[in-house]
Structure 1
Amino acid sequence: MAAAITFGAGQLNRANQPTATATSTPPPAPAPADSTQARQVVMDVAKTSVVKLLSYTPENVDTTLNEAVALTTGEFRDSFTQLIRDVVIPGARQKNITAISTVPAVAVESLTADTAKLIVFIDQTVTTGSAEPELIPSSVRLRLENVNGAWLVATFTPL
């Protein structure tokens, strides 16, 4: 992430720098925005964010999901906030729903300094009341946006 910002600034500054001479040392090459390290960062953010967005118990649903709102941005933040307040939180309390999510796999589709597009595979175990837990596998296309140095969920589209 910082490497991506440095890369952009480096490109702007190079045009204004004097030509290198035999006695001067060229500036170090900036790290590309789409590097192995950058991909690992966004994959880790995707895993953590999805688990926090989709995991709760009736006892902690308010706190957990309201804290998860901070991991979102833009229109998705608005729709997620409305969904949890109008549907998920009341439903979890009334029906005694527990949802525990894991992310067994994630893949980066594309990555720039500002946006990452990923495919995230999710295993969500949902228990309603005293019923047997139900495993619900799914996958989503996630778009993360780099907002002031933090990768936030901008879209969450089921596949």
Structure 2
Amino acid sequence: MSSETSPKPRRLLRILGALTVITAVLAGVLYFSLYRSDRRVDDSVRAAVTDTASQGAIALLSYRPDTVENDVGSARNRLTGEFLDYYTKFTTDVVIPAAKESQVATQAAVAASGPVEVQADTARVLLFVNQTTTSAAKPDPATTATSIDVTLTKSGDNWLISGFDPVQPHE
């Protein structure tokens, strides 16, 4: 009689043991994927990446003919990776000559901004930017509104812009 009842408690103990192991594994996975303190992002990080993206956009999109080399040089200090290479070539080949020859001046202002995705070492911020442009041929200011998806990469203690993509409106 005792031999008939003993398999049930053993089976129950095995099931409880298996559930305990599964629960421990699940807790570990959640900790390492969601709650690790070295991967946690708080509101101050979100504010920092949003400010960095906003100030960077203003630097990238604002220049005057008489200071364009310095303006572009200062903006380059905020960039990294392939985007730095692209920006350097584009400003050397297009922006600096146009600013000097046609007296092009631009001034950007961020109308609104917000973080889209923020992780420990990468972030994306959406910016709504108004840019006012004048030139010798068109001295009356022309203002354009653009939405920009800015990608940032952490380098040491600093966030640098690694992507700067205008958002195309959906039709």
Q: Which has the larger radius of gyration?
A: 2
**Residue 121 of structure 1 aligns with which residue?**
128
**Residue 90 of structure 2 aligns with which residue?**
83
From 145, 153, 157, the counterpart of 1:137: 145
For the residues of structure 1 that align with 2:145 and 2:110, how far apart are their CA atoms?
10
1:59 and 2:59 equivalent? no
What is the deviation of 1:30?
4.5
In structure 2, the CA distance between the partners of 1:113 and 1:32, relative to structure 1 (3 Å rule), is closer
Gapped regions of structure 1 (runs ≥ 5): 1-28
Q: How does 1:68-107 map to 2 (within 5 A)?
A: 68-107=75-114
What is the deviation of 1:107?
1.0
For the residues of structure 2 that align with 1:156 and 1:68, how far apart are their CA atoms?
13
Normalised by the length of structure 2, the TM-score is 0.73
Kept in 2, the 8 Å contact 1:142–1:157? The answer is yes
Q: Aligned pairs, how many?
A: 131
Q: Secondary structure at the match of 1:59?
A: coil
Gapped regions of structure 2 (runs ≥ 5): 1-35
Kept in 2, the 8 Å contact 1:33–1:111? The answer is no
Deviations 1:90-109 (Å, cap 9, x if unpaired)? 00000001100000111111
**Residue 9 of structure 1 aligns with which residue?**
none
Amino acid aligned to 1:43? T
Per residue, is there more helix in 1 or in 2? Answer: 2
Deviations 1:46-87 (Å, cap 9, x if unpaired)? 111110011000000011111211100000000000000000
Normalised by the length of structure 1, the TM-score is 0.79
Percent identical pairs in the alignment equals 31
For the residues of structure 2 that align with 1:96 and 1:76, how far apart are their CA atoms?
26
**Residue 150 of structure 1 aligns with which residue?**
158
Moved over 2 A (4+): 29-34
